[in-house]
Amino acid sequence: MTDSLILTIDFGTQSVRAAIFDKKGNTVCLYKKPYNPAYFSPKPGYAEQDPNYYFDCMCEVTNKLMNEHGDLMNRVVGMTITFFRDSIVILDKDNNVLRPAILWLDERRAEGKEKLPLFSRFLFNLVGMGPTIDLNRKRSMAVWLQENEPDLWAKADKFMMISTYINLKLLNKYVDSPAAQAGHVPIDFKKGQWYKSDKHLKGQIFGVPRRMLCKLVPVGEVMGTITKEAHEKTGLPEGLKVFSAGSDKSSETLGLGAMDGKTAAISYGTACSVEVTTKKYSDAEPFLPAYPAVIKGYYNLDVQVYRGYWMLNWFTKEFGKSESLEAAIQNKLALEILNQEMLDINPGCDGLVLQPYWGAGLRRPLAKGSIIGFSDTHTRIHLYRAIIEGIAYCLREGLELFEKKRLHHKIERIRISGGGSQSDAICQITADIFGLPVSRIQTYECSSLGVAISGFVAAKEFDNVEDAIKAMVHQSDEFLPNKENHRKYDYLFKHVYLKMYPQLKDPYKDIAEYNKLVAKNKFKD
């Protein structure tokens, strides 16, 4: 039907959105509920939230949607859900939540007291992935819970993403999509299935028994329907089909129309990422997998800057007091003022270059944030711009890795989304650093649009994803690279940025060792 609609639920790190889209990509309606607070920090570096709080916030927006647009539901062909990644819930055998969810922002680490089997460690070290595997294991919340909350872990019957918990509440089924499992769980991303044995070489890393995991429903298939109990709480129609979709980053990439292998999708959010979609599965690097896309048969190559545009909020908090005061007076965001001020800084920040490892990634688990090139001419606004440029350098490095080792062809264009994409200045800097055209689309809600496209394709409202993108994704504006600025950035990228990590790798190891010694009080008399 040409007048068919799809209903979407989009859980972000800061808010949840319920929306209805039509087949032309128009947002028929959208209701948003910010979380307050987004998470709790019972200890420094922790990030937790009651998973039922997310469900309650969702109920608020779905009830508003139904109250004001319930008459549209006879045209709605189904519903899709997208959620932020790598955030964990555990339940007992009666489906009671045992503790607050541990979110992807959480920085706690397991000690890794229980080592992997000796032969497994030998194999990982043989291919040079020992440190990466060790970091993955220490980042596993299952391993952390086993070490730090063993009594609670003994009661655990189910281990899941928050998206799985929402599905359980809506459908009364313990199910989820393989494209929602990007995180520290034992999944074969190529097959979209859990590893069958707890002793599988890769599966054993995370310490999650197979018996605790949900059933995975292939992308595009019906996971279930809204139950009577869920209808009473959410207002959503009983019996409404819910299609298997996937994570927010994957949905964003589809929402940007970046599915042809020639278009890269950049997301400037709390975490920043660059993704390229292919039909052929390929690890981004050994043991760093491609993730299933929200369209069956496609995969997303993904490189992430863990503390991405979170760093801009960090800068504002630590160095942007005057802009924050001015923003309050002008009733605008401090970042808007900072983005305007950085236009007075030369491209390349007069030689100030930053590597944005405020939170280390899997490729470089020991890396720290670093800045070089300071002189007496540099100001705090130089630092602000250097953060933006440094994140773009990091994403360019990841994209060039894809081009060289996995794609074997050059990316031709970039589509951009996330909070940072609302700034023309940031879009232009991105175009200048990559040397590629950068464009935005008709909506800022790219993940909601993407999961809407996924739903329409699942409901057979389009013959294929290409037709869906053509009908629903519309470029709004484009930023072409300034050739002179690109030459400046290209020089700094090749001659400075790319040399920083190799030169600092050993000092990073020494810093990690120093921190271990401090934690163990080794410097005391």
Residue pLDDT, tens place only, 258-267: 999 999 999 9
List the chain domain ranges: 306-413+421-440+479-519
pLDDT higher than 90, residue 268: yes
Tokens at 4, concatenated: 């068919």
pLDDT value of residue 44: 85
Q: Predicted confidence band at 494 (pLDDT cuts at 50, 70, 90)?
A: very high
pLDDT value of residue 512: 83
pLDDT, average across residues 162-178: 98
Q: Which residue has the higher pLDDT, 520 or 392?
A: 392
Residue pLDDT, tens place only, 304-356: 898 899 999 999 999 999 999 999 999 999 999 999 999 999 999 999 999 99
pLDDT higher than 80, residue 388: yes
Q: Identify whether 37 is preceded by a cis peptide bond (ω within 30 of 0).
A: yes
pLDDT value of residue 201: 79
pLDDT higher than 80, residue 95: yes
Query: Which of 211, 194, 208, 300 shows the shortest CA–CA distance to 247?
Result: 300
| Distances, alpha carbon 250 to alpha carbons 5, 46, 210, 294, 441, in Å | 21, 26, 25, 6, 16
Helix 446-458 and helix 465-472: axis angle, to 10°? 140
Q: Which residue has the higher pLDDT, 126 or 81?
A: 81
The widest CA-to-CA distance across the chain, in whole angstroms, is: 78
Are the CB atoms for 353 and 371 separated by under 8 Å? yes
Report if pTM > 0.85. Answer: yes
CATH number of 306-413+421-440+479-519: 3.30.420.40
Residue pLDDT, tens place only, 182-226: 778 999 999 999 999 888 877 888 899 999 999 999 999 999 999
Q: Predicted confidence band at 1 (pLDDT cuts at 50, 70, 90)?
A: low
